[in-house]
């Protein structure tokens, strides 16, 4: 039964540096990607702007017979 404990502790100490390196790389990747994501939010807002303007006219024309499903 003690061999399970020995194998698990060996695996833990072998995987610890790998997980530390991968976690550090992931953190640096997120830091490097943050400006790109920030810029993508502005681009997405600009692309959605025409739809937001068209949505304001939905109040004026609530039911158009050609577009209604019933």
Q: What share of the chain is helix, strand, coil (3-state, %, to 5)?
A: 80, 0, 20
Query: Over the stretch 10-24, which tens digit does the pLDDT of each residue have?
Result: 999 999 999 999 999
How far is Cα 70 from Cα 63, in angstroms, rounded to an integer? 11
Query: Over the stretch 52-70, which tens digit does the pLDDT of each residue have?
Result: 888 887 776 666 666 555 5
Q: Hey, where are the domains in the chain?
A: 21-58
pLDDT for 45 beyond 60: yes
How far is Cα 56 from Cα 8, in angstroms, rounded to an integer? 61
């Amino acid at each position: 039964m003690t061999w399970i404990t020995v194998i698990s502790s060996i695996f833990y100490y072998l995987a610890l540096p790998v997980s530390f390196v991968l976690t550090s790389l992931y953190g640096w990747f997120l830091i490097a990607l943050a400006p790109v994501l920030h810029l993508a939010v502005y681009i997405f807002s600009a692309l959605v702007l025409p739809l937001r303007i068209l949505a304001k006219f939905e109040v004026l024309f609530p039911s158009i017979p050609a577009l209604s499903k019933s």
